Amino acid sequence: MKELKISAIKEGAVIDHLSPENAFKVVEILNLKERDNPVMVGINFSSEKIGKKGIIKIGNSFPTKEEIDKIALIAPEANLNIIKDYSVISKEKVKIPDVLEIIMKCANPKCITNVENYKTKFYVLEKVPLKMRCHYCERIMESSDIELV
């Protein structure tokens, strides 16, 4: 399907090198269906690196730090390209930061952040496989525990 072209965007972001299933997850976590700006989602494009890949183009909008952190958690394989005036001005692999704030719930139901609904904070102890410690209850979480907010 290499011949299928998706039109270029003037300004915005391209999330590339996603696994096809993660493309839909990213649509979900960035709430792209509910937005007004144009979004294109493609899957099953051939990729030398990962066989089949997904790609998302978001026009007229740049992801926030929190959104980039969410992408890194759900789809650590993704590349993020920032487009301005039809040119790629930055292109980099998303990175899981050392500290994750606000973007996800603590998996421990007895954590104060769940009991009284406070903002969360996690320290990333290991990136592969992902291991995080809650700043509040100090419980360790893994990627299977992630529930984004």
Partner 1 sequence: MKFKGKDIISIRDFERDDILYILDVAKRIEQSPDQDLLKGKVMASLFFEPSTRTRLSFESAMSLLGGKTVGFAEPGVSSLKKGETLWDTIKMVDRYADVIVMRHPVEGAARIASEAAHIPVINGGDGSNQHPTQTLLDLYTILKTKGTLDNLNVGILGDLKYGRTVHSLCIALSHFNTKFNFIAPEALAMPKDYLNDLGEKGLSYREESDLMKVSNELDILYVTRIQKERFPDPMEYKKYAGFYRIDKKILNHVKKDMKIMHPLPRVDEIHPELDSTDHALYFEQAANGIPVRQALLSLVLGRIE
Binding site for partner 1 (CB under 8 A): 106, 108, 110-113, 115-116, 118, 134-140
Residue 47 vs 113, nearer CB to partner 1: 113
Report the distance separating Cα 125 and Cα 63, nearest Å.
25
Centre a 10 Å sphere on the Cβ of residue 85 and count the other Cβ atoms it contains: 7
Name which of 80 and 134 has its Cβ closer to partner 1: 134
Nearer of residues 21 and 138 to partner 1, judged by Cβ: 138
Least separation, in Å, of the C-beta of 53 and partner 1?
34
Burial class (CB in 10 A: 0-12, 13-18, 19+), 122: buried
Task: For the chain, give the number of residues.
Answer: 149
Residue 128 beta carbon to partner 1: minimum distance, rounded to whole angstroms:
15
CB 120, min distance to partner 1, A: 10
Q: How far is the CB of 117 from partner 1 (least distance, A)?
A: 9
CB 135 within 8 A of CB 123: yes
Closest to partner 1 by CB, 103 vs 106, is 106
Q: Which two three-digit tokens encode residue 96?
A: 């899981």
End-to-end CA distance of the chain: 35
How many other C-beta atoms can be found within 10 angstroms of the C-beta atom of residue 114? 16
